[in-house]
Structure 1
């Protein structure tokens, strides 16, 4: 699928390159392009009072998550004409390399989030009871065997870096540095705003640490995809889950459901967790399969399909992470 997306982006490049070479910034403002909402929000906090002087574009602004996003021709034009482009840098962003090779603005500053966090980047992991994505073993049976094994051996990193407050602090600093490079006259403003925002992140990080330290339990059970690997690593939490964070699965196997139900009983957990969304069928089935059948089903917001329209009346990255802390406290009682 990722190869198809990359080819799709390459084809789009051919159709937009001529127009983009003649494109001009309609607003005359500094152009910053981000793929995901958390980064968009970090940028706005760093800009602060200078926000009106910068045009910030959020590409994933229609409810599509990172793993299913395909850039439109208009998206590509915005990227290759931008002054700063910020993206996650994982497998879902394989199309980016082709786009950047055709950048019109040769002075563009590019921020790859996975590269910026360095050794803090985590490979996807399979834990006990997690459902393997076996269907991939049976599709495209005529695919070249060598290429198949090569793909299997490539490390796949967890892309959900924004769900670690500690990563968010590192990345806020990196984004501020990028903005200072392209707009040096406002460097002091960006520095001051980034330090103030990092302090807010640090305060919340300490609240998470205190909550986990005083909690009765140290294990989470997810009946869903699990994009919170970075968060559990930060605070020393153990987890069991139905699927890895980037899984496209929506139906859990009988064995997976039974395993999670038994773990629920074994650990006497009061909560089954899911990510945001309307359907919690797997969680309901896991609860129904337990002895007590009375566990709460609560959701942690992964922010991976968020758009600007979801964030009104003061709601932002920090408020969502505070709400997630409340859910975490309930799950660890």
Structure 2
């Protein structure tokens, strides 16, 4: 708590400083999650300067602002974040930043279409990036925001978005074709926490997470035993680790299933709340999505043979 108060005090002092945009010619943008960083980079291109707070493998549910983040936030013209209380530890910081443009990309979406959640203060599942249609809406929203903030580069933003929009549409078509090769009865996705409900809704998977929607909630013995029983009953032969969640929870689940004389394989590691390492294919939203789908389908198909 003391750390949050200190950061807020520092921010209140430095936010009165003039923006860097006029001196550098570029919008100074801060983003929270790696997914948002990738989205804004594709739209902003070379005419914006983007600094992401979170890196590969970082869990946004548990992320706390560091002293090093203060400078990034203070120098930003715009701050893009997910919203829906995904960045739970940063909400208080954002709410106090009255002199800054803090933009929640979830505001681009119709809340009536979101998946409800009793675990988040917003009452919605915040993992919206796994619905590609939502990500298309988010991209259009970011584009309009940048056009307003830097109108002299509006044409650049529009052209960048047109190109990336086409790539996202192609992504949806490609993965839809891959998923169609998996029988409906085999579309059961068991992961460390419930990050994939929008994916499941989009592509007709039953999704079950051990820790619920937030990794801040620990899975208990009863949760493990209940899910182990579900796996056995539904003959699920592959479960998945997540890159931003300790694998011990899934390993405990695997052990619980084995103790009941049933084998379940760990089908691979999925990217859920963060992209892969920078400069790798999985370090982009499109690459991450393709990797996840390939990993899921191959593991569940193997269990079918």
Same fold (TM over 0.5): yes
SS of residue matched to 1:244: coil
SS of residue matched to 2:80: strand
Q: How does 1:51-130 map to 2 (within 5 A)?
A: 51=46, 53-61=47-55, 63-91=57-85, 92=88, 93-103=90-100, 108=101, 110-119=102-111, 120-124=113-117
How far is the alpha carbon of 1:95 from its aligned partner? 1.5
Corresponding residue of 1:293: 263
Contact residue 122 and residue 158 of structure 1 kept, 8 A: yes
Q: Which runs of 5+ in 1 are unaligned?
A: 127-151
How far is the alpha carbon of 1:261 from its aligned partner? 2.5
1:183 aligns with 2:150: yes
Tell me the distance in 2 between the aligned counterparts of 1:72 and 1:230. Answer: 31
Q: Deviations over 1:188-245 (max 9, x none)?
A: 2211211221221122212333333342235424252121111111122212232212
Q: Deviations over 1:11-46 (max 9, x none)?
A: 422234334424652745311111111111111111
Tell me the distance in 2 between the aligned counterparts of 1:23 and 1:180. Answer: 20
How far is the alpha carbon of 1:296 from its aligned partner? 4.0
How far is the alpha carbon of 1:80 from its aligned partner? 4.6
Tell me the distance in 2 between the aligned counterparts of 1:226 and 1:194. Answer: 30
Q: Deviations over 1:265-296 (max 9, x none)?
A: 22222311221255442242244135441534
Q: TM-score, normalised by structure 1?
A: 0.76
Q: TM-score, normalised by structure 2?
A: 0.82
SS of residue matched to 2:64: coil
How far is the alpha carbon of 1:306 from its aligned partner? 4.7
Q: Deviations over 1:85-124 (max 9, x none)?
A: 2111122142244332143xxxx4x421222122333222
Tell me the distance in 1 between the aligned counterparts of 2:99 and 2:255. Answer: 49
Tell me the distance in 1 between the aligned counterparts of 2:204 and 2:18. Answer: 49
59-68 or 192-201: bigger deviation: 59-68
Aligned CA RMSD, in angstroms, stands at: 2.8
Tell me the distance in 2 between the aligned counterparts of 1:215 and 1:296. Answer: 18
Tell me the distance in 2 between the aligned counterparts of 1:294 and 1:155. Answer: 35
CA gap of 1:70–1:241, structure 2 versus 1, over 3 A, is: closer
CA gap of 1:326–1:10, structure 2 versus 1, over 3 A, is: same
How far is the alpha carbon of 1:175 from its aligned partner? 0.9
Contact residue 241 and residue 266 of structure 2 kept, 8 A: no
Contact residue 257 and residue 282 of structure 1 kept, 8 A: yes
Q: Which runs of 5+ in 2 are unaligned?
A: none
